[in-house]
Structure 1
């Protein structure tokens, strides 16, 4: 793919999002920070070799940094920066980033810095760069560019990145199927921890308050419908007109089904993969798909305005929904297992995604030309 004029690339936004996820995964749980006992200052300059080293460590560290090299190369090239800059961006920053993350792990008792992790991270990023070179050599990046131009309007890179992240947010169990954005319980936990031992705690805790009840089946179905409708309206706000928009509706429905089923299988076991299907699930999905199909002929600005309404209503409904009573036991398995970082990342994406989509739709509506 030859250099061209500077333009916005969805790979840039995906790179920034993935970079944030890598930092999160590397430094989780972010506490307690302390100077490692018995370690001299010059000891920070040399990463130790690990005592234990298994196949999972090789795969996780190698694959974890591969998207960084690939996305950096694609973002630079598709933004019109040229092949030389794309090669430098794919080669240089990621070994330095890995070295920084491994060094910071000295200060987190729950993390173990490792020279092998740094080497594998670096090789993984370079393999991603090599994959990008191969894709570019055989026209893969140009085909993606042509495909994006066929399906989506210009200046839609951030929205496409949000759409790509949406299924990942579904991997953390939601209070209702497709019900991302339940941030209030976590905010209450943070507030209680900050106010612990002070009289202000009484403002947050009511010992006689009745437990939250599940949403009535009607409201649960509405929340599920909104959970499908919101990402579809985001997609329609950047999609080109025509029957191709119906394919976006079908794609969102398929991704929602797969994401929710995978989440249930990961948390409760493969034999319970379809346990999320309730008497409210299929009506909610059907209503959401029907409303999304009806919205396909709407102009971009109207789709964006309806997306704001759908997202706001979804956040309001899932905030009222209680957590699954079986979730505590399941989350203990996540927190004690190898997939704790994936669990934490999916949880944050599920919390943040609706608000990021709201911000983007507001910005779209505020433009003079759409």
Structure 2
């Protein structure tokens, strides 16, 4: 049997392997090496390195590329070594990897091997290791126990995580080339942050963490959350139509400190905070910027008739599946959080349908908005699914349920 200590670091090692693979891919693509291009072997390749100046975008990319490496390396090493040794080894490993890649790039036509890149990569590793140290320190404030207890299976939480991943991976088409990596990083070169967008991403990731906590034993929760974050960010790099969103990255920076604060709350107010945060997201997404006008537009009771009037297959291909799946996640999140707050699944579904219906009605007075029965129907479908998942399970009412929740925090 694998010791619990070894099992607990496996996700961190997996993330390190994924990050290193991505760095190698992005740095050496398209792998058309010409070993005979430089005479004199390794020493001559080292002499080819220079302090060539890089553009602003390249400088930012070189730092950002090694940030996750330093972060993940520190977390993995910290499971085996002390804090200072982990930082030192992580920085040395990142710098060594960067130097090796710069030397190999001498043999790749079209690539520029630069000591400037090496310095920026090392700086990114240092910043990432510092971030890993902060994550580790904040994690301790959540009083994670080394005891591995069984977490009660929560089918609604599993479905909620699947909704989130599906909404983030659409259209599920990999695009493996260097141009895609550059396009994914482009929004970070001139980042723009909106308070509503940051709040939305932060709320969604908080709910995802709560769902992970409902399906995973306490010592593994943050590691599983890191795996989900890594998967989503990797999808932004490698899937067509995806790119990094500065607002989401800022939300991820705020995530763990907010988790620590939420962890201090008792279960009932904590669940209430989730409910009201999701309600705020739904209202902001549906009604912002609240510039109501008159007269009211027409309410569409047959939102899918347009699909039948044209080619249904074409309608399916051109539909905005990302927006539809985002709404599916938010509707499911509201139903699930209402249930863990202490309501029945039916009541939670009815409340969600009512809220969405009110938002749709108010959209009648918003310009450039189409009020439709589609969203209430989607909320009802998600509510039916949640009800089927929990049909044999009582709602988490009462003092015993609250005490169990407090014990599992």
Q: Compute the TM-score of the two structures, normalised by the length of structure 1.
A: 0.45
Structure (1 or 2) with the larger CA radius of gyration: 2
More RCO (CA 8 Å, sep 6+)? 1
